[in-house]
Amino acid sequence: MRRAARASARAPRVAGSGGLYGERFISFPQSFDARSAIDRVFVEAGVTRDLVIEAQLSQAIVAPVAKRAGVALIDPVTAAYARQRVAVKPFAPAVEDHFLS
């Protein structure tokens, strides 16, 4: 499951795709499977985002969120470390990750 990261602590307890309508959004490059899965959730919900920054690593995505450049969906491990810098909320519906070993 992905987590929503936001610089402002005034975000709702659980972030949903509808609550992010029109938000400045920071995401992975289009070639990443995670980006495709995230985009699909928003397309299915009919939610438009303003995609402003792309980064390859979740940690790199958190930096502009902390500077209030936008919001992002990041993995739970990165979210746990980012809690001191940004507001982190669960996101629904869940976006599944697929890791290879």
Note the pLDDT tens digit of each residue in 47-96. 999 999 999 999 999 999 999 999 999 988 899 999 999 999 888 888 87
Return the CATH number at 43.
3.40.190.10
Instruction: Tell me, yes or no, whether 31 lies in a domain.
Output: yes
10 Å CB burial of residue 58 (0-12, 13-18, 19+) is: buried
Residue 101 forms part of a structural domain: no
pLDDT of 18 higher than 60: yes
- Give bridge partners of residue 24 from the DSSP assignment: 50
In a domain, 100, yes or no: no
Residue 37 domain flag: yes
- Greater model confidence, 38 or 2: 38
pLDDT score, position 36: 92
d(CA 13, CA 29): 27
**What pLDDT does 28 receive?**
95
Three-class DSSP labels, 49-77: CEEEEECCCHHHHHHHHHCCCCEEEECHH
Full domain range(s) for residue 57: 3-92
Question: Is residue 97 a part of any domain in this protein?
Answer: no
C-alpha radius of gyration, the chain, whole number? 12
Number of domains in the chain: 1
Res 11: pLDDT:
47
- Return the pLDDT at 9: 46
Whether the per-residue pLDDT at 1 is higher than 50: the answer is no
Give the per-residue pLDDT at 17: 74
Does residue 98 lie in a domain region? no
Region of residue 19 (phi > 0: left; psi between -120 and 50: alpha; otherwise: beta)? alpha
In a domain, 42, yes or no: yes
Within-domain flag for 23 = yes
Helix, strand or coil, per DSSP, at residue 78: helix
Q: What is the mean pLDDT of residues 16-25?
A: 84
